[in-house]
Amino acid sequence: MTRRIFVKHLVCACTGLPRQDFDWLFTFDRSSPQGQLDVLATMKPTTEFGALFQYSNPLAAAAGYIGARTIKPDGELGQAYDAVMRDKVFGPLGMSRTTFSFDEALRTDHASPHSWDMSLRNVPIDMALNHSIIPIRPAGGAWSSVRDYARYVRLELASGRLPDGSTFITEKNMLARRVPQVRVGEDSWYGMGLWIEDIKGMRVISHGGSMFGYKSNFFFVPDAGIGGVILTNADSGWRVATAVMRRTLEVVYDGKPEAEENLLSGVRETRAFLTGEQRDWKVPPEPSEVKRLAGSYRNAALGEIVVREGKDEVVFQFGGWKSRMASRVNPDGTTSFLSIEPGVRGFEFNAPAASGVYTRLTLRDPQHTYEFESMGPTRM
């Protein structure tokens, strides 16, 4: 793999390396940019090179850090990246309110993140969850405004030229990023950090961003010279961003008005899914199941889970974040403990179908299994 990957492949989602987000989500409070690059040495491809679209946040972060290091070879890696982006990108583009500094952003007027609670209301969530992006911030950790972000979209539409006509990026290099690298669907591909889609014969280029309680998207149509930016501060915002993009195309091309109904249909589907998902959850968890939990568990890659029992609740603490938990008895006899805190719903830790103490909890993503082994006394 090392011999085959060029820098451009770090942002093509075509290397065969999987998403593997748990490795940084569970360790960010004790990690660093260099630490996240070190994690890449442990990652293994799950498909052949170029065979399947698989987005990787650590790979995208590596692209940013490598680019920064070529310009600023000294100093801490994250600080070097922040400085290069400020001086070489945000400054020339006039993006004066765009920053990677949480301290700087939170000192000013800003939108707070929101997500669903158990009653499916949108409520404010803990900002600390979003500090998880800091060690891999080139993958999407910038704070920005619509006005600032639109300056970047104008650069795309101008094929790399600034408003004064000067060249910021050569047109050749700008357009090379829009060449499909791996197929995503029948009419969609991924380029170099760009989503490429043919919508009813129109080539639309976009990319979204997702953090806890925030969903964003930008898009542009090269042939029409139009684009847009949508920033939302709720986990429900992804459907809104998609609807705004589709509605813009309907207005520009006098298309059939479908975006609004698609949005409303999506809201109904999401509500039905979330309602059904938590139908069998028991909150607080079943007391007899709680008694079988150990005080703490550990996985070599992800770290430690600390189990805390309070009045009418059980809390799992995972490094830099925590959540109240629900329990669910599964048809195969296993028991699952599920996070229910708004913003971190649905992390599922599975306990084996066995008598006695739960000495092991299992966490899975679509391609990985993480075993947490008991470290502490039972909860009796």
DSSP codes joined into one string, 276-310? HHTTT-BSSPPHHHHTTBBSEEEETTTEEEEEEEE
* Domain-embedded: residue 279: no
Look at residue 1 and give its three-state secondary structure.
coil
Tell me the pTM: 0.92
* Domain-embedded: residue 380: no
Same domain, 256 and 339: no
Look at residue 172 and give its three-state secondary structure.
helix
Same domain, 16 and 100: yes
- What is the domain-level CATH number for residue 113? 3.40.710.10
Final residue of a structural domain among 271, 295, 328? 271
Same domain, 164 and 258: yes
- Look at the chain and report how many structural domains it folds into: 2
Beta strands in 102-190 (DSSP E): 114-116, 122-124, 182-185, 188-190
* Domain-embedded: residue 73: yes
* Domain-embedded: residue 340: yes
Degrees (nearest 5) of the Cα angle 286, 291, 295?
Answer: 120
Range of the domain at 320: 287-374
Helix and strand totals (H; E) in the chain: 11, 16
Same domain, 261 and 308: no
Final residue of a structural domain among 223, 247, 271? 271
Structure tokens belonging to residue 313 = 């609740």
* Domain-embedded: residue 141: yes
Q: Are 361 and 350 spatial neighbours (Cβ–Cβ below 8 Å)?
A: yes
- What is the domain-level CATH number for residue 321? 2.40.128.600
Same domain, 309 and 262: no
Q: Are 358 and 294 spatial neighbours (Cβ–Cβ below 8 Å)?
A: yes
* Domain-embedded: residue 379: no
* Domain-embedded: residue 164: yes
Bridge partners of 214?
211
Q: Pick from 125, 139, 178, 182: which is nearest to 40 by CA?
A: 139
DSSP run (H or E) holding 211: strand 202-211
Final residue of a structural domain among 271, 303, 332? 271
Same domain, 36 and 121: yes
Residues of the chain with pLDDT under 50: 380
Same domain, 207 and 107: yes
Amino acid making up residue 24: W
Same domain, 224 and 362: no
Distances in Å between the alpha carbon of 101 and those of 2, 75, 78, 337? 32, 17, 11, 35
pLDDT of residue 380: 45
* Domain-embedded: residue 276: no
Query: Residue 164 carries which DSSP code?
Result: T
Q: Pick from 19, 34, 24: which is nearest to 68 by CA?
A: 34
Transcribe 95-120 into DSSP letters: -TT-BS-HHHHHTS--PPPEEE-TTS
Same domain, 168 and 71: yes
Same domain, 109 and 49: yes
Same domain, 346 and 250: no
Query: Residue 326 carries which DSSP code?
Result: E
Same domain, 180 and 295: no
Q: Pick from 190, 152, 157, 163: which is nearest to 175 by CA?
A: 157
